[in-house]
Structure 1
């Protein structure tokens, strides 16, 4: 939805939806790829995927796609019903997302991001998390096609925690954090989990909430599909 200067809310045009989705996909994959290359802590889901990729010896793009499919199932449970347009949108998003994260991570690695001094890498890592949080805010508001992980946050936020982005994001992080802890207990090693991951855990929800108000501020959440259906009473 888009709110005009006169306060009137209208639907986004196809061109506007495409613009916001492309911008958010670029920012999200770039931010995630940058955090992987810095190796000072990725966002929770990416950090979890990086550790699972290390243990299983699979490419991180494959793990991210697998995560996406699993989370689609969890979202169906949270919603309490099937929404095929939503599921198809999730599937359309996870393919290019996993590919572009891997592509950006490889490119940042080739240009030597991982060899920079600690302070510079930490700054870039935090920047990556900020970029991906901004991206999540943008395409959550468009709510046309979402990555399943961020769709889960949207569902939790507007169906269960009264629109609170911070609490919704913390609840969303429960699953990847559990995977990371299990891998650490079993393997006694961990990657992509550092100060940046803690920053993401504590601040990503707040950055999303801030972005809702300051990045494309006239872009409003389209949340009608998240509202619980009200029973019809016969008079």
Structure 2
């Protein structure tokens, strides 16, 4: 999977990308199904889905398109290859999260008692951080939300994942707050959201160090 110089082969890049998407999708779907707090971006999408009465996959897709445009403005460059990569990542990912979340409800995990539910929710948030870490390092194609965080991380914060995550989260927090002011109700915001807010950058940084340790950041 790796070349002699330590970099992944083309097949290695693709394999790691697929693994990371599956890990991230499952983590997001797990937090949505449990409704004990999703990662900030997912929580904002869930609340918009309720506000506009739309399918979660469609909302994730529309939110991603908006972030693609924002990223281009930050970089002051409409990099069509990068934007196409964002779309290629985002479309299957959006509907994979929605589909797995619906599938998990068949197992009635939403009816688990509090302690195992909280543990599973935190594991879901950790899986999201792990998935983000892998595909950010591969950097072949990225979800626009994570591309946004990566742009902040290396353009403004000297590679610090923790600070970049906290700054990036201002956007979904604002979206969720607006939805709450309109609906007077919150969905997918709970202990898992707090864990994601405080520790997702840490989970990414730890995964950088310990998950697929030979994999370094590429194509920056």
The correspondence for 1:35, drawn from 31, 38, 43, is 31
Q: What TM-score, normalized by structure 2, do the two folds share?
A: 0.97
Inter-partner Cα distance in structure 1 for 2:83 and 2:193: 28
Cα deviation for residue 200 of structure 1 reads 0.2
Query: Max radius of gyration: which structure?
Result: 1
Cα deviation for residue 9 of structure 1 reads 4.6
Output one character per residue of 1:175-200: Cα deviation in whole Å (capped at 9) or x when no partner: 11001111111211011000100000
Inter-partner Cα distance in structure 2 for 1:81 and 1:125: 38
Hey, what does 1:141 align to over in structure 2? 137
Q: Pairwise mapping of residues 37-76 of structure 1 onto structure 2 (< 5 A)?
A: 37-76=33-72
Secondary structure in 2 matching 1:163: coil
Cα deviation for residue 223 of structure 1 reads 4.2
Output one character per residue of 1:36-57: Cα deviation in whole Å (capped at 9) or x when no partner: 0010000000000000001111
Where structure 2 has 5 or more consecutive residues not aligned to the other structure, the ranges are: none
Hey, what does 1:17 align to over in structure 2? 13
Inter-partner Cα distance in structure 2 for 1:73 and 1:223: 21
Secondary structure in 2 matching 1:190: coil
Secondary structure in 2 matching 1:22: helix
Inter-partner Cα distance in structure 1 for 2:82 and 2:154: 16
Secondary structure in 2 matching 1:161: coil
Secondary structure in 2 matching 1:144: coil
1:90 aligns with 2:90: no
Hey, what does 2:101 align to over in structure 1? 105
1:151 aligns with 2:150: no
Structure 1 runs, 4 residues or longer, greater than 4 Å off:
none
Question: Is the 2:6–2:214 Cα contact (8 Å) retained in structure 1?
Answer: no
Inter-partner Cα distance in structure 1 for 2:159 and 2:76: 19
Q: What RMSD in Å do the two structures reach over aligned CA positions?
A: 1.2
What number of residue pairs does the alignment pair up? 219
Hey, what does 1:230 align to over in structure 2? none
The correspondence for 1:172, drawn from 159, 168, 174, is 168
Inter-partner Cα distance in structure 1 for 2:80 and 2:216: 23
Cα deviation for residue 103 of structure 1 reads 1.1
Indicate the larger mover: 78-87 or 104-113.
Answer: 78-87
Inter-partner Cα distance in structure 2 for 1:77 and 1:22: 28
1:220 aligns with 2:216: yes
